[in-house]
Amino acid sequence: MVEGHCVRTIHAETNAIIQAALHGVSTKGATCYVTHLPCINCTKALINAGIVKIVYSTAYRTDENAMNFLKGANIEVVQKEFKL
């Protein structure tokens, strides 16, 4: 832990992209389902991975730049309540 944050982890979006690449699965044209609206770094990774739609449950620390990037990339962003 460094300043209360685990430095050994990565965000789920980045992990999903890495796992897809590791197993030879294309993410081009895919939908990403996540619990929280992606952060700026995950947003950039999702755009570059060819994701076309993001479905999330909770808006947490919404980043205006991330939202502008998603809009500019024509990525559909949908908020939907998930029942886990």
How far is residue 9's CA from residue 55's CA, in Å, rounded to a whole number? 22
How far is residue 79's CA from residue 59's CA, in Å, rounded to a whole number? 8
Half-sphere exposure of 25 (CA within 13 A, CB side): 10
Sign of torsion, CA 40 46 49 51? negative
- Catalytic-labelled residue, pool 13, 64, 76, 81: 13
**Does the annotation count 13 as an active-site position?**
yes
Annotated catalytic sites, by residue? 13
